[in-house]
């Protein structure tokens, strides 16, 4: 099998423009956990399934692999700061955001384009990532549509 350079694969995948999400859950001690993820995709309408993937090296890996539920927040225009906050090593990514509780008690954030509350359907080994398939239990649209946040070639854009 030909060897694929990880950098080349990352650059190739980066040519595929995606939306940007924040995925949240609670760890086994009840603390909120969340990170920015652009690996989100819809999978099935019946049953209603979506997926995203998480690096096995993430500090959040133990929390998500043990969690019965998680919430996916699709970010809208003007939410680049929030995306950067949930991708960086700040002490408390949730500070001052005014979270409430969604299905399974997971922390849900106000002010995103759409929010999908999910039960963990399956966790699949995806090489150096865990692939999470979630069953959508509730759909909320907390905000009026105000454009979309897009990630392409390592940069944020607004549509």
Binding site for ligand FMN (CB under 6 A): 20, 35-39, 52-55, 58-60, 83, 87, 151
The least CB distance from residue 109 to ligand FMN, in Å, is 15
Q: Give whichever of 58 and 99 is closer to ligand FMN, judged by the CB atom.
A: 58
Give the nearest distance from C-beta 145 to ligand FMN in angstroms: 20
Closest to ligand FMN by CB, 46 vs 125, is 125
Adjacent-strand bridge partners of 134: 50, 120
- Looking at the Cβ atoms of 35 and 118, the one nearer to ligand FMN is 35
What is the closest distance, in whole angstroms, from the C-beta atom of residue 2 to ligand FMN in the complex? 25
CB of 61 to ligand FMN, least distance (A): 8
Of 37 and 108, nearer to ligand FMN (C-beta) is 37
């Amino acid at each position: 099998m030909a060897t694929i350079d990880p950098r080349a694969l990352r650059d190739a995948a980066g040519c595929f423009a995606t939306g940007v999400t924040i995925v949240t859950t609670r760890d086994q001690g009840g603390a909120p956990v969340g990170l920015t993820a652009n690996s989100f995709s819809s999978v099935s309408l019946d049953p209603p399934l979506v997926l995203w993937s998480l690096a096995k090296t993430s500090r959040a890996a133990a929390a998500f692999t043990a969690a019965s539920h998680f919430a996916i927040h699709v970010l809208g225009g003007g939410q680049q700061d929030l995306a950067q906050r949930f991708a960086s090593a700040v002490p408390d990514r949730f500070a001052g955001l005014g979270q409430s509780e969604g299905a399974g008690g997971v922390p849900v954030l106000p002010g995103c384009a759409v929010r999908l509350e999910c039960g963990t359907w399956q966790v699949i080994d995806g090489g150096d990532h865990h692939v999470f398939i979630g069953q959508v239990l509730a759909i909320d649209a907390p905000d009026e549509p105000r454009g979309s946040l897009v990630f392409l070639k390592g940069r944020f854009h607004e549509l």
